[in-house]
Structure 1
């Protein structure tokens, strides 16, 4: 084994790695080692040419770059000569080889890379892709978090853009996919090589694995083992917590309100007063009897509250938390910790929480929102209690999701902002919400989940639909990758892998998060047929064509209308001047017949059980060719009646060009549609994201 590098990672020699992986059932070439070129000839005795000679030693992790590989050697003597020539070349470059590995050369085939890297948050991640030179040229790879299943392994291969090469390209024979799947499982499956390494995994790579019609053989292997990790306060080791009192406290204390200059503490006191909190609220102040009409206590010590919100300068926060013994939950709003380059201060805060036995939310977060429980971090009267929960590492974004969502008719059960997640992590709250009887849909906004492995494990077991918006994780940074595998596994690429394995919906914007939660809230419990099928109905052939493009790009199938429906549709007066296709063009406008859309959908769905129906309306036409909202609302009522009839179909309404409607009309349309269980979107793109969320929640991974 070579010496450890500056990070403490140790690079094993190739023959050592191959010896270890062969014990996991991975085929490797027959070979032997030799300490010098003269010994290579003897080591090669008994091996069948053609042969390969490789040098190993310090600095020779990437042998090809240094010229430390010779291929196609036809005899043991040729192997000795190649080793001697290689030694001279390497010494001239400053390398000092420790020895040579001579092996039988594998027959040609399709070269594949299989590798694993420890992600800072999620732990071991497996990579597979086209190997050899294609690794760097195409970067065509697929990822999964370990451990993988056989279904994961096969899905990884199907995701590759170059998968046709695996199946036999231009007359070439297809590879033995089963053999390659076995390699993937031997590396990243339950009980595989990665699992055997445990915390020692830094980076591992088989590149290439040569795949042929009757097997797969790993001809190169690299392993960096991490230095032993220092003892730390690992996430996920805290006892299970009942968060009921966090979301429905009987009493609340606010630390940081001022008698002289209004600040965040005063703002939160005002929020609780405006929300009509029915429990006891106190402000913490060493001398004042009251602040803004709220009684004061001199310290958190002995205050007897269920929840304390701390809004004082960061440096004072650890001392405040040390006064909190006996309080179940303390939320530190204050920033100025790890996110501002002060990790030691955050560690001190966490230590204070552990010493006093309180559960800490934050720091650098806004608070908790629960209309049913009286919790709020927002001004004004809380919205109606609902079934949507949200865990967010951004307080500001959580506030926007709540306010914009409620404006659109969404209702929330529980919202927690967790900021830096020094103690309570998103994974822990997700476990609680998964069992919460008041929650049926969960949204997450994450930047650095902290306990990524716990999040992954929890998501695999959650039986409620989950939509996730991910912010940039560049603040974590990554160590310079010593292998191709490490270079190609970026933080951002872990999330699609996690989604593929857990069935969650990944969205890319705040608006799409709100839209997905809306759809899931209204439709997730509706039993629908499996499959990507989608029926689109609305006016304007051009809008229909564009809709088809949008939904096709989203992976949704606009299956053709059954031939058996065409006569019935023509009897409704459809098809004159337009084709009877999917998308189906129906004249919808102020002069149209509201029942036409409903009857057409009934005819089609009686013959073909589309799981989803998108009905789009052009609001502009109603107010260009009409002067009242009544026809538009009549259409909406008719569509609502259709949804009430279609228990096994999800109906979604797209109100295009809604800005052309007079003020208040869009709200009225939303109210009518939501009362019938129909979500409303402004664009086809937003509807496509939402429909995909519903399909993933109903039928697992897409």
Structure 2
């Protein structure tokens, strides 16, 4: 690692528009006094050298020096206290006090350069109050970073202190991480870069310390300047058309056995059960047929119209099989035992085999593709109905669960691809295809190692459809200790959160929430594009206790349970509400086996006539319908009332929470979901699940309306 002297870094960054203090250097304490003449007091003296990465910790900084002579004396004290003589001393004009901010950048191994901003100076390690974005950042990104800080009130003036010049601080962030900035100029030479602190006052923002760490020695005289605009290079290679992956004319399965059923036989059974309409071929060196499916001796002899080959043989045999696949557009390797098990060389050989055959490789270590409209499947039984939801998953097992549980709840899928190790086809590529797919309106992702993190980031920023991502392994990956404060505060979890914020992606933490958000996207985001993304919500349902708990959940999720205006409360009284209960938000109304099933519709209509709410969450206690009643009809009638409400509200999203659904007789919950879904209303079992889904829908609405 290379660590340039501070004064060299400061001279360089000033060319990008970053303000730095006036200063001078001296090779030894005896030269400091002469160097300091002409500088305004008070002064700061710092020692610099290759071993002085954290100068304050080493006692190599002195502040508040009243004269050049005092600066020279301080330099002598520093030299005496250090175990090794420094390379020299930097003496500078000390800046007036202000809010200290850290601005830094590091190179993330998956996503590339990441910008960090937060409270700096001594507060950096104590409070760790920082925000992240992937580079390059926009002005909107920079301002959003500052708004995310817990201590942002310090920037705007606190307890009589003046507000800082936010615009000046934003310019520093853009100079570091924006287009044409310091990070872009460094390119691959960036390991860690840090300004800490940047002292911010009403008069501007000045970087009083600067650190640049590079993976290899940098020539101070050859530091790059601000990048210039260049003419466009050669056009990129055209993207792969993945339509035949999801709708193949023919499928070849390699690995089925004539003696002992295995995964190959299982997949042949899946395609037969799905009534695959294209050519289905089993590849076997000697058999004429397996399980009623005709055989070919090799992939090379599989015949015409084979667009997809599924390989389920031991890992060491896979490269040779793939080399025979010339002329087949897509080959999926189900087998494991590659990079995920320490077999990186074998995976490299597999990829080389795909390249030599001119095929695109899905996997290895993946289950395959599911598309009811295209006849693709990796699941048993009859495929579900074709729908509008797509999923890209690095786990085949989890993808199967999302499909089966999602279909049980009423979701229908357009295209599902499992990519495993993503040695060739990456999530980013498939995301780009799905973004342009007219049959897909919402996209779900399950990722562990995206392989092409930068490509994924760019693809997500260009998607206009709603996307929800579940990321596995964020807590376990960790990160080695970094040389700078910036590096120490950039973690896998925080980088994913930054990516989600910049790209308008909903980031969830469970499979259930992944399915729940896809449900909301499918029913709300595509059907009600006019619904805004503001924080206001209206919660309506029975039970004061449930309403109090709902308020806690939704308030904790950042929603605004805005009060009902007096005109709305008067209208509710006209409906017979308010006797014995407060007319507040959440609104308590009688819902049960003897209640009026249309009351929720009339109450919400009355409220929205006086004040708009972007989201209405109607909740119901299923247990009460069957404790105090003996029929599902009142609950189903209530659900129809909620559905009728949604039909009347083009610019409002209606969500139904069916609490205690397990208390309903078998089949009742399914019936509620079917009625609600037909009306465009997603159903959740808990307030917490609904809050996640509503937040995702609001977030997408803000992005779509350009108000993120």
Interval of TM-score (by shorter of Structure 1 and Structure 2) = over 0.9
Q: Which moved more, 1:385-394 or 1:45-54?
A: 45-54
Kindly provide the CA deviation profile for residues 418-469 of structure 1, in whole angstroms up to 9, marking residues without a partner as x.
Answer: 1111111111101100000100011111111111111111111111111111
Match of 2:162 in 1: 173
SS in 2 for 1:124: strand
- Confirm or deny: 8 A CA contact 2:532 2:702 kept in the other structure: no
**Separation (CA, whole Å) in 2 of partners of 1:475 and 1:422:** 22
SS in 2 for 1:613: strand
**Separation (CA, whole Å) in 2 of partners of 1:261 and 1:474:** 41
SS in 2 for 1:622: helix
Pair 87,160 (structure 1): closer, same or farther in 2 beyond 3 Å: same
1:84 pairs with 2:76: yes
- Confirm or deny: 8 A CA contact 2:536 2:614 kept in the other structure: yes
User: Which of 65, 68, 81 is the equivalent residue of 2:57?
Assistant: 65
1:247-262 equivalences under 5 Å are: 247-262=246-261
Q: Which moved more, 1:81-90 or 1:682-691?
A: 81-90
**Separation (CA, whole Å) in 2 of partners of 1:275 and 1:467:** 28
Match of 2:283 in 1: 284
Match of 1:56 in 2: 48
Match of 1:3 in 2: none
- Confirm or deny: 8 A CA contact 1:448 1:473 kept in the other structure: no
**Separation (CA, whole Å) in 2 of partners of 1:166 and 1:477:** 31
**Separation (CA, whole Å) in 1 of partners of 2:91 and 2:79:** 14
Q: Tell me the number of residue pairs that the alignment of Structure 1 and Structure 2 aligns.
A: 684
Match of 1:231 in 2: none
Kindly provide the CA deviation profile for residues 548-607 of structure 1, in whole angstroms up to 9, marking residues without a partner as x.
Answer: 111111111111112112222112111001011111111011111112111111111222
Give, in angstroms, the shift of residue 37 of structure 1: 2.1
Match of 2:514 in 1: 513
Kindly provide the CA deviation profile for residues 157-197 of structure 1, in whole angstroms up to 9, marking residues without a partner as x.
Answer: 11111112222222222211111111111111111111111
1:149-548 equivalences under 5 Å are: 149-227=138-216, 239-303=238-302, 304=304, 305-473=306-474, 478-525=479-526, 526=528, 527-548=530-551
Runs of 4+ residues over 6 Å off in structure 1: none
- Confirm or deny: 8 A CA contact 2:532 2:701 kept in the other structure: no
User: Which of 564, 570, 574 is the equivalent residue of 1:561?
Assistant: 564
Indicate the RMSD between aligned Cα atoms, in angstroms. Answer: 1.6
Match of 2:227 in 1: none
TM-score, scaled relative to structure 1: 0.95
**Separation (CA, whole Å) in 2 of partners of 1:595 and 1:85:** 83
- Confirm or deny: 8 A CA contact 1:332 1:364 kept in the other structure: yes
> Unaligned regions of 5+ residues in structure 1, if any?
1-8, 229-235
Give, in angstroms, the shift of residue 237 of structure 1: 7.6
Match of 2:223 in 1: none
User: Which of 636, 641, 646 is the equivalent residue of 2:644?
Assistant: 641
Pair 473,354 (structure 1): closer, same or farther in 2 beyond 3 Å: farther
**Separation (CA, whole Å) in 1 of partners of 2:209 and 2:454:** 29
**Separation (CA, whole Å) in 1 of partners of 2:290 and 2:588:** 63
**Separation (CA, whole Å) in 1 of partners of 2:110 and 2:477:** 9
1:607 pairs with 2:596: no
**Separation (CA, whole Å) in 2 of partners of 1:329 and 1:184:** 44
TM-score, scaled relative to structure 2: 0.94
Give, in angstroms, the shift of residue 473 of structure 1: 4.1
**Separation (CA, whole Å) in 2 of partners of 1:362 and 1:285:** 22
Match of 2:600 in 1: 597
> Unaligned regions of 5+ residues in structure 2, if any?
218-234
Match of 1:123 in 2: 112
- Confirm or deny: 8 A CA contact 1:529 1:609 kept in the other structure: no
Pair 58,227 (structure 1): closer, same or farther in 2 beyond 3 Å: closer
SS in 2 for 1:419: coil
Give, in angstroms, the shift of residue 530 of structure 1: 4.4
Kindly provide the CA deviation profile for residues 229-256 of structure 1, in whole angstroms up to 9, marking residues without a partner as x.
Answer: xxxxxxx986410000000000111111
**Separation (CA, whole Å) in 1 of partners of 2:684 and 2:477:** 36
- Confirm or deny: 8 A CA contact 2:4 2:50 kept in the other structure: no
